[in-house]
A and B are shown apart, each in its own frame.
Chain A
Amino acid sequence: MGFMTDRKRAVGHGSAKSGTMAHWHMTISSVGLLILIPIFIFQFGAILGHSYEEVVAYYTRPVPAAIAAMTIALSFIHFRGGVQVLIEDYIHGSARKALIVAMTCLSYGAAGLGVFAVLRIAL
Chain B
Amino acid sequence: MADVNRGNRPLSPHLTIYRPQLTSMTSIFVRLTGNALLVAMLMIVWWFVAAAAGPEAFATADGFVRSWFGDLVMFLSTWAIWYHMFGGIRHLIWDQGHMLDVERSETAGLIMIIVSVLMTIFTAIVL
Q: Which residues of A contact B (CB under 8 A)?
A: 1-6, 9, 27, 30-31, 33-34, 37-38, 41-42, 44-46, 48-49, 52, 55-56, 59, 68, 72, 75-76, 79, 82-83, 86, 110, 113-114, 116-118, 120-121
A120 to B59, CA, bound (A): 18
B121 to chain A, nearest CB (A): 14
Interface membership of chain B positions 111-127, coded 1 if the CB is closer than 8 angstroms to chain A and 0 otherwise = 00000000000010011
Taking chain B's interface residues, is the majority helix, strand, or loop, or is none over half, making it mixed? helix
The number of chain B residues touching the other chain, given as a range, is 20 to 34
Q: Are A72 and B51 in contact, CB atoms less than 8 angstroms apart?
A: no
Closest to B59 in A: A52
A106 to chain B, nearest CB (A): 8
Whether a CB of chain A sits under 8 angstroms from the CB of B2 is: yes
Q: Are A82 and B41 in contact, CB atoms less than 8 angstroms apart?
A: no
Q: Are B41 and A79 in contact, CB atoms less than 8 angstroms apart?
A: yes
With A117-B52, A118-B48 in contact, do A6 and B2 touch (Cβ < 8 Å)? yes
Knowing that A5-B2, A44-B44, A114-B45 touch, tell me 11 more A-B residue pairs with CB under 8 angstroms: A2-B3, A3-B2, A33-B88, A52-B62, A75-B37, A79-B41, A82-B34, A114-B49, A116-B52, A121-B48, A121-B52
Q: Are B92 and A27 in contact, CB atoms less than 8 angstroms apart?
A: yes
Q: Are B88 and A117 in contact, CB atoms less than 8 angstroms apart?
A: no
Q: Are B42 and A110 in contact, CB atoms less than 8 angstroms apart?
A: yes
Whether a CB of chain A sits under 8 angstroms from the CB of B89 is: yes
Contacts of A59 in B (CB 8 A): 48, 51
Q: Which residues of B contact A (CB under 8 A)?
A: 1-3, 31, 34-35, 37-38, 41-42, 44-45, 47-49, 51-52, 55, 58-59, 62, 65-66, 78, 81, 85, 88-89, 91-92, 95, 123, 126-127
A63 to chain B, nearest CB (A): 16
Closest to B87 in A: A30
